Structure 1
Amino acid sequence: MFHKEGHKIILITFMLCIILSMFSHFLIENEMISKAIIAVLIVFLVLILQFFRNPKRNYTLDTNHAVSPVDGKVVVIEEVFEKEYYNEKRLQVSVFMSPLNVHITRYPVGGNVVFSKYHPGKFLVAWHPKSSEENERTTVVVNNPAFGDVLHRQIAGALAKRIVNYAEKDQQVDQASESGFIKFGSRVDVFLPLDAKINVKLNQKVKGGITILAKK
């Protein structure tokens, strides 16, 4: 099953691979080179299909849990001053996604969307210290009964050239439901209250909507 954000790209890639394979087969006399080109095209198509995959998962919803918004690896766990929305200190947990990860962004908690904003910006590598403030990004805040306001921020990276955000202010959302999509790699930051009990460690691999980032 593939995500709707990839349908157009998958179709275009599939058609291009067929056309280029036919050209390679009929116009290149060297059989080894022709087969090598076709093999590369097949690998490229498989990578595109893998990137836009949308695996079915069973989610366990819990108001007292904040789950990872994306698949990837935990790269930041620290207390920071968040100045866009809270203007106070928060616990930040950041998850980095490689191009091989599932790139659907999910709501860490359920509740009411109280803030949703898109910011145009640069395309620094996702692990750059200033990427969360200078890169293209979206900020979404959901008010949750247990955690209060929980902010998650999609951040574009050097390869991510488009962020899709589905969140709208005053919308009621369910935990682990789709919040957006980031195309071709990046990271997502989650900002939690200081009394939240962090449930992950640095470099831990996590799954979107499944792995518990923090408990209340």
Structure 2
Amino acid sequence: MHIFQSIRNVLVPVHRAGWPFVAAFFVAAVVLGFLWQPLFWILLILTGWCAYFFRDPERVTPMADHLVVSPADGRVSLVGHVVPPKELELGFEPMLRISVFMDVFSCHVNRAPMRGRIARMAYREGEFKNAELDKASEVNERNSIVIDGPKGEFGVVQIAGLVARRIVPFVARGDRIEAGERIGLIRFGSRLDVYLPDGCKPRVSEGQMAIAGETVIAEFGESLATWPARRD
């Protein structure tokens, strides 16, 4: 049983959005390999990396309305109170913002921090600066999602980074989603910002690594010893 579980952890499924890139790298490896054999091995390695980049592993999400789970795999880069972007329409008072930075080796499938209904979405063109910089929240290309959840409205912002050039949302306005459900991906390095309402306290620190759909990044003050979970 443990052997099969280990194999399953290694052979993680590739998200369907990544298959065109995997196929393109593989075809290029075969075609260019006829011209110069070292190119075959170089591009074959890149094919494997591309499949790894677009991996879509199963996650086990705690199902409790007072918990906020990470929307992305990566490093917690910012924790603090700031005024949310105008397009979120969440007012002009500072809100708790938790940012998770994804490098090119992170899993880039994004997940919902809490359950709720997609109230608003806004895509904004912009620059492609390093997503780790604080000003990336204001100047970079981004897709903003407002979710009406059990604790009120909160925002999730997908921010394109220095290398990223494509934000792919999986949800639309009016959709109902569960915590940990897939909401989109960003290709090749980027950041996720979560803007949370009053009463929410951070449960992570800057520099900590987070796992999308599993790591509890914030809490609404309640305390439970255990809570149910959903595997997805």
Structure 2 residue runs without a partner (length 5+):
1-12, 221-232
What corresponds to 2:79 in structure 1? 77
Distance between the aligned counterparts of 2:67 and 2:50, measured in 1?
33
| Contact kept in structure 1, 2:73 and 2:209, CA below 8 Å | yes
Please list every run of 5 or more consecutive structure 1 residues that lacks an aligned counterpart in the other structure. Answer: 26-33
Aligned match for 1:89, one of 80, 87, 94: 94
**Which residue matches 1:23?**
35
Query: Contact conserved, 1:69 with 1:107, CA < 8 A, in 2?
Result: yes
- In the other structure, the counterpart of 1:7 is 19
Deviations 1:110-135 (A, max 9, x none): 01111111111111111223211111
Distance 2:59 2:132 in 1: 28
SS in 1 for 2:47: helix
* Selected match of 2:62 from 56, 60, 63: 60
Residue pair 2:26, 2:43 contacting (<8 A) in 1 also: no
Tell me how far apart the structure 1 counterparts of residues 85 and 48 of structure 2 sit (CA, whole Å).
41
Q: Does 1:189 align with 2:201?
A: no
* Residue correspondence of structure 1 range 1-216 to structure 2 within 5 A: 1-25=13-37, 34=38, 37-84=39-86, 85-87=89-91, 88-145=93-150, 147-216=151-220
Normalised by the size of structure 1, how large is the TM-score?
Answer: 0.91
SS at match of 1:94: strand
- The alpha-carbon deviation at position 83 of structure 1 amounts to 4.1
**C-alpha deviations, 1:37-69, integer Å up to 9, x for none?**
443223212211110111122222221111000
Give the letter for the 2:52 counterpart: Q
**Residue type of the partner of 1:56?**
E
| Deviation string, structure 1 residues 51-106 (Cα, Å, up to 9, x no partner) | 01111222222211110001000000011112412122100000000010000111
Measure the CA separation in 1 of the matches of 2:34 and 2:179: 46
Q: Distance in 2 between matches of 1:179 and 1:134?
A: 22
2:227 aligned residue: none
Question: 2:173 aligns to what SS in structure 1?
Answer: coil
Percent identical:
31
Distance between the aligned counterparts of 1:24 and 1:60, measured in 2? 51
Q: Alignment partner of 1:20: what SS?
A: helix
Distance 1:99 1:166 in 2: 20
